[in-house]
Amino acid sequence: MGRKENNMNSVNIIGRLVRDPDVKRTDDGKTICDLRLAIDDTYSKEDRADFINVTVFGSQGGVCERYLRKGFLAGVSGHIRTDVYTDSEGVKRYPIKLVAERVKILQWPERKAGMTEALPEVQYVPDVPDVPDVLADEPVEVSEEAVEAI
């Protein structure tokens, strides 16, 4: 089933990862990467956040697995999908998640004094279009074509 011409199911969010990416592989080797983002609720009088589940498929999921970690600020564009399942008490549940079409790393967390854990190593491959130079202070975006070219 192809995409519909008048698709209005489009979402853009910016938030921080509340945990490291959770990655699974299908039997044929495709990547499924689940993220959970915390988004500040700027309209609330209280200090609160909304938590959004995000699923990233394919090679872009592999990029998320390699580059994203808890605390990183990321922008995600995609569409909403509702799953259906029956829980252990027999109640039908309808969780909503964002299926990512594009993920952008917006900010790397700063190292704090006494921090011993290393930030993930990122390998820069020169002369390949759209591969990020993660040492730059600008936002990083990795296209699927760039990952496949590596």
The structure's pTM equals 0.66
What are 128-141's pLDDT values in tens digits?
334 344 444 444 55
What are 85-140's pLDDT values in tens digits?
999 999 999 999 999 999 998 886 665 555 445 444 433 333 333 434 444 444 45
- CB under 8 Å to 48, separation ≥6 — which residues? 41
Task: Kindly state the tokens that stand for 104.
Answer: 């952008």
Domains of the chain: 11-105 (2.40.50.140)
Task: Tell me the torsion sign for CA atoms 85, 87, 89, 93.
Answer: negative
CA distances from 99 to 51, 107, 138 (A): 14, 21, 25
Task: Kindly state the tokens that stand for 59.
Answer: 């090679």
